[in-house]
């Protein structure tokens, strides 16, 4: 096998592996590393004939320059993977805020994806978002964006432009926008409940407001979670169906050297 073929395959494998390892569903610690690597190699073997027959890649002579090219492919894959992961982080953040407002900040579980402790509401919203993501076939949009990335940004053609940095910063800022839009109805209701309880405590000091507030906020929070499920489904649908367009827009900000 020619050396250039091996070098070409290694570049493809690096980009795909970086995207797979940062993809919200596949990055779960419950999935063995061997499965992730095997899936990355499988995708690389599928993409390799398409890319190898359509792209003429001039490999650098020095090994240090080739390592720089490997680093560029690694960074490109990480950026694309995190551009999807940040959507789920925004949903989790909304659940964290809602859980704290309900008084469930001490009731935490281990998130199977990130391996960190999160509130029950955050874990519930994250799992629900994953189910919605898969039911909408949004993962096909991600895979299509992965394949098209080799034509939008050819191998060894990644360059970190200022507009790319602005794009990444904008995606990070969208975390707070997404969490606010998802959690606003429930957070607002719980805030009004807290204000009402505060007024009641001032009017009737004999009431043990702390014993009353804890179950009341949990009950109202659970009711609002149920009532807001259609809104959450509608919002998540608009969020996930545009994944391919968002990936393409991100790729277009990465210029060639």
Tell me, what's the pLDDT at 115?
Answer: 55
Judge whether 38 lies within some domain. yes
Note the Cα 228 to chain centre separation in Å. 22
Using CA atoms, how far apart are residues 172 and 128, in angstroms rounded to an integer?
22
Using CA atoms, how far apart are residues 213 and 194, in angstroms rounded to an integer?
8
Looking at the chain, which runs of residues are DSSP E strands?
Answer: 108-110, 117-119
Judge whether 40 lies within some domain. yes
Tell me, what's the pLDDT at 257?
Answer: 44
Tell me, what's the pLDDT at 212?
Answer: 77
Judge whether 188 lies within some domain. yes
The range of the structural domain enclosing residue 184 comes to: 3-252
Judge whether 37 lies within some domain. yes
Token duo for residue 85:
């992961």
Using CA atoms, how far apart are residues 167 and 223, in angstroms rounded to an integer?
37
Asked if 154 and 57 touch (Cβ cutoff 8 Å), the reply is: yes
From first to last of its 257 residues, what are the pLDDT tens digits of the chain?
577 778 788 888 998 998 888 888 777 666 777 888 888 889 888 888 887 666 666 655 567 777 888 888 898 888 888 888 888 888 888 888 888 888 776 655 555 555 556 677 888 888 889 899 988 888 888 888 888 888 888 887 777 788 888 888 888 888 888 888 888 898 888 888 888 888 888 887 777 777 777 788 888 888 988 898 899 998 888 888 888 888 888 888 876 54
Tell me, what's the pLDDT at 117?
Answer: 62
Q: What is the pLDDT of residues 94-147, one digit of tens each?
A: 888 888 888 776 655 555 555 556 677 888 888 889 899 988 888 888 888 888
Judge whether 257 lies within some domain. no
Judge whether 177 lies within some domain. yes
For the chain, the distance separating the N- and C-terminal CA atoms, rounded to the nearest angstrom, is 29
Helix, strand or coil, per DSSP, at residue 149: helix
Tell me, what's the pLDDT at 165?
Answer: 85
Nearest-CA neighbor of 14 among 67, 81, 77, 85? Answer: 77
Asked if 132 and 240 touch (Cβ cutoff 8 Å), the reply is: yes
Provide the whole-model pTM: 0.81
Domain count across the chain: 1
């Amino acid at each position: 096998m020619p050396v250039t073929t091996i070098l070409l395959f290694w570049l493809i494998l690096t980009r795909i592996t970086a995207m797979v390892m940062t993809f919200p569903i596949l990055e779960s610690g419950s999935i063995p590393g061997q499965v992730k690597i095997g899936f990355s190699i499988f995708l690389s073997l599928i993409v390799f004939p398409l890319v190898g027959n359509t792209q003429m890649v001039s490999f650098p002579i020095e090994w240090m320059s080739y390592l720089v090219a490997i680093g560029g492919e690694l960074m490109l894959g990480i950026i694309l993977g995190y551009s999807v992961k940040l959507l789920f982080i925004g949903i989790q953040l909304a659940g964290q805020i809602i859980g704290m407002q309900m008084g469930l900040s001490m009731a935490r579980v281990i998130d199977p994806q990130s391996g960190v402790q999160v509130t029950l509401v955050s874990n519930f919203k994250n799992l629900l978002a994953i189910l919605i993501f898969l039911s909408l076939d949004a993962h096909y949009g991600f895979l299509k964006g992965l394949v098209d990335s080799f034509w939008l940004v050819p191998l060894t053609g990644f360059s970190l432009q200022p507009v790319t940095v602005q794009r990444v910063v904008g995606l990070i800022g969208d975390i707070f926008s997404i969490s606010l839009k998802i959690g606003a109805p429930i957070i607002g209701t719980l805030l009004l409940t807290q204000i009402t309880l505060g007024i009641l405590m001032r009017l009737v000091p004999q009431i043990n407001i702390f014993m009353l507030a804890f179950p009341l906020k949990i009950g109202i929070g659970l009711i609002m979670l149920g009532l807001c499920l259609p809104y959450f489904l509608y919002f998540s649908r608009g969020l996930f169906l545009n994944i391919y367009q968002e990936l393409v827009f991100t790729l277009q900000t990465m210029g060639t050297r």
